[in-house]
Amino acid sequence: MQQSLEQYFINEQSDFYNYLIDINAFKRPKTYRDYITRLRYVSQLYRLDSGITSEYVDFIVEDLKRTMRERDRYNTIKGISDIASGLRKFLQYAKSDYKHIIENSVLAQENEIITDTSISETEKDAVVKSRIGQGSFRQRLVDYWHGCSVTHCQTHSLLIASHIRPWRKSDNMQRLDVYNGLLLIPNLDKLFDKGYISFDDNGIIILSDFLPLSEYRLLGVQQGMRLVHIETNHIPYLKFHRENCLL
């Protein structure tokens, strides 16, 4: 089945959102989500993916001006101006090779840890392995959660050790802190990593509006799911995830 036009942007929107945050594009958190909302509207009419060009951005803007309708809240002069700004930011993201830059940044952080003479070899090994959910960090999560932090699945070989506050945005203490970790089945891990789900201070799941409910259903995710338990030490990490990672 051929994917919809909108799906091309959905495939990019999580990385685009993180890109905007990483470059500190805006002062207000709401603005980041407003940009995603505008481009989701545009993506229903035009293909938006990593192959976008400046010529295509110009075409979209001019085409929207030609088809302006008063009944549509985006098809006003101000609305199209906002869309043009969003498209330029998306073009900037596409040209930046963001995913490659992030990988290089993580490797640089790992190298900095490895060459730090103030850190013991044991700690270096633990911190580096924690990035991919291995070593002592994973074992401590297994000992703490016993199974999936949400579904209770106890087949440990299927579970992924995931940081709540992302590894690259944590210090070494946070990278090894058991309260900064969840043990999740693969579909929940990927949704959490991409910012499509998070959890409130009571451990109840939050679903992002930027993924269709049909996709959540296909992945077996629904409202009412929750962490099997939660402690006070989890709350600052969950707050960071909601404010900086949740779409």
Which tokens in the block code for residue 28? 């207000």
Please give the full DSSP string across 156-221, using - where no structure is assigned.
Answer: GGG-EEEESS-GGGS-HHHHH-GGGEEEE-HHHHHHHHTTSEEE-TT-BEEE-TTS-HHHHHHTT-
Which tokens in the block code for residue 63? 């085409």
By percentage, how much of the chain surpasses pLDDT 90? Answer: 74
Q: How far apart are the two ends of the chain, measured CA to CA in Å? A: 27
Predicted pLDDT at 68: 65
- Whether residue 78 is predicted with pLDDT greater than 80 in this model: the reply is no
| Domain segments of the chain as ranges | 5-96, 126-244
Q: Which pLDDT band holds residue 103 (cuts at 50, 70, 90)?
A: confident
Give the pairing type, strands 160-163 and 205-207.
Answer: unpaired
**Nearest-CA neighbor of 91 among 33, 49, 30?**
49
Predicted pLDDT at 106: 87
Mean pLDDT to the nearest integer, 80-87: 91
**Nearest-CA neighbor of 20 among 79, 84, 91?**
91
State the helix-helix crossing angle for 5-22 and 98-114, rounded to 10 degrees: 40
pLDDT digits 0-9 by tens, 39-50: 999 999 999 999
Give the pairing type, strands 205-207 and 197-199.
Answer: antiparallel
Sign of the C-alpha dihedral computed for residues 28, 35, 54 and 20 taken in this order? positive
Predicted pLDDT at 71: 45
Q: Phi and psi of 142, rounded to 5°?
A: -60, -45
